[in-house]
Structure 1
């Protein structure tokens, strides 16, 4: 007959063995998140945030963020978009007004604790019973968000056009901008994003909701806004030491310039891809690029044909930039894969 001590040890071993698969599964799930530490971003609004079966602006925005090497996790209680879309979570509620979002937002913020919030709301208020009161309601909603999540960065956009209510939309947008800027001036982490001019009415098949082209334009505006605020989508990829990027201006004209960037492999092993980041003068943006793919105006990834660089070799890409003032390209960093 086994002793009580042996019986106890045997029971403990049995418990540990039975639990070990769960421990192994938990480790597999947690380790990537711990290492990547993605920034939690909440797309917040109505059907324009939800985006129908194509995933709205969230589809292209996610693609741009991944191409830029940003570790971002869209969060929210809903999940929509094509099955192939890597990250489908959001808080875009079709048909909802500002007041309806206001009634639920505290619970969402507590549940999903976003670091960054993208708010496009007010469209359904424009043809409701009190469009004139919509700016006041938006102001109260933003105050509630910043009170509940004071550490979060809140990007609030003007709303895109409505074909049959354009003057109402313009009035709403004109009213909310100074309200939001006043909050920023008071120290709240609120940023105004001017979305209205980005989406033409021709990109609104039903007069309200964008098509794929319109959503892609919204994604570009969101991406540029996020990229302009340090920390809102994490830090840019650190230079990997595998490559260097040397820019040079090769031509100038009134209102723009042409530049070339040489990407050199400085290691003893091949690299299979690269990402270059640089800055442009205020007011300038990339209007055309070759030998790479641009995200926003400051991040370029290799083209399919020039991503692999042997030790000691180099590749180049070039671009055209437009804008006022002197031609210049800031210090460039390079991360290799």
Structure 2
């Protein structure tokens, strides 16, 4: 169940529509997500698959080396007050268009859990005062095995406070995260496993998708068609790998010329290519002798990429004039 409250629509944050939408994951260790990247891993994947151009921002960088975007403001062990003491500087530095706030877990077993809703309310007021055009998504916190009643009381108290801010015209959206993650997905009773983080990612994605502008607009379909591109890693070594992409024409008529676009999530760069011409990050067009593909036919191009991350090729798209 996801509760998303839409506010009125004042001017949006100052950001060119051509730029990726800056999204700040904000909170404690549940936002940081340990070595697996938390919910940020699957959320980034969902956003890219939906054609959204998003840039996670923050002073920290964590997650697997193959994770394309690792930035965030998830500080392990931090309370609401600690985030409150630093948030203005982060907002000034990174100017996020959208903020994902999951905070309060460490307050639940601190000295004053009853005061946590008031502290959260003050934190959200500080965020909206500093960044009034940002979309601020505030979630209820996920369960804690040994403090479930305290968590439930906190969640019940913050929802009406946040709804009141939205009703007053602030760009605050309530996301009900608590039901999404069962206790069985919390190995230590506090932090989700990969399955739990994936469920969190789905809730965030659905909430973001319901608020126009919070993650930009879907990328327009590539012109032309109907070619397809299928990439594969064909060899690896320390510091690089070799890849091959098959460009196929499933249509009933020939195509003349093709363009393939893909990413290298591990941070690699293409250093050599054959049977194609590479530009940007990464766009490949045909050479003179393999641009025409007959119905049901295919051609291939290959490349060598250098870098220290895990060898990987992102989803490839193909278009033809």
CA deviation profile, 1:169-189 (whole Å, cap 9, x unmatched): 000000100110110010000
- Distance (whole Å) between structure 2 residues aligned to residue 190 and residue 237 of structure 1: 26
1:213 is the counterpart of 2:195: yes
Q: CA deviation at 1:238?
A: 2.5
- Distance (whole Å) between structure 2 residues aligned to residue 209 and residue 195 of structure 1: 14
Contact 1:241–1:336 under 8 Å retained in 2: no
- Distance (whole Å) between structure 2 residues aligned to residue 182 and residue 191 of structure 1: 11
Q: Which residue of structure 2 lines up, in the alignment, with residue 98 of structure 1?
A: 80
1:51 is the counterpart of 2:38: no
Q: Superposed, which structure 2 residues align to 1:239-250 within 5 Å?
A: 239-240=221-222, 242=224
Q: Which has the higher contact order (CA 8 A, sep 6+)?
A: 2
C-alpha distance 235-168 of structure 1, shift in aligned 2 (>3 A): same
1:130 is the counterpart of 2:112: yes
Contact 1:242–1:267 under 8 Å retained in 2: no
Secondary structure of the corresponding residue to residue 99 of structure 1:
helix
Q: Which residue of structure 1 lines up, in the alignment, with residue 183 of structure 2?
A: 201
Q: Superposed, which structure 2 residues align to 1:101-180 within 5 Å?
A: 101-180=83-162
After TM superposition, the score normalised by the length of structure 2 is 0.66
After TM superposition, the score normalised by the length of structure 1 is 0.63
C-alpha distance 267-214 of structure 1, shift in aligned 2 (>3 A): farther
Q: Which has the larger radius of gyration?
A: 1
Contact 2:53–2:219 under 8 Å retained in 1: no
Q: Which residue of structure 1 lines up, in the alignment, with residue 70 of structure 2?
A: 88
Secondary structure of the corresponding residue to residue 86 of structure 2:
helix
Q: CA deviation at 1:82?
A: 0.6
Secondary structure of the corresponding residue to residue 178 of structure 1:
helix
- Distance (whole Å) between structure 2 residues aligned to residue 165 and residue 238 of structure 1: 46
Q: CA deviation at 1:236?
A: 1.4
Q: Which residue of structure 2 lines up, in the alignment, with residue 230 of structure 1?
A: 212
Give structure 1 stretches of 5+ with no counterpart. 1-32, 245-263, 274-309, 314-334
CA RMSD after TM alignment: 2.8
Q: Which residue of structure 2 lines up, in the alignment, with residue 60 of structure 1?
A: 42
Q: Which residue of structure 2 lines up, in the alignment, with residue 78 of structure 1?
A: 60
Give structure 2 stretches of 5+ with no counterpart. 1-14, 227-249, 261-292, 297-316
Instruction: Pick the aligned partner of 1:38 from 20, 28, 37.
Output: 20
Q: Which residue of structure 2 lines up, in the alignment, with residue 281 of structure 1?
A: none
Contact 2:108–2:151 under 8 Å retained in 1: yes
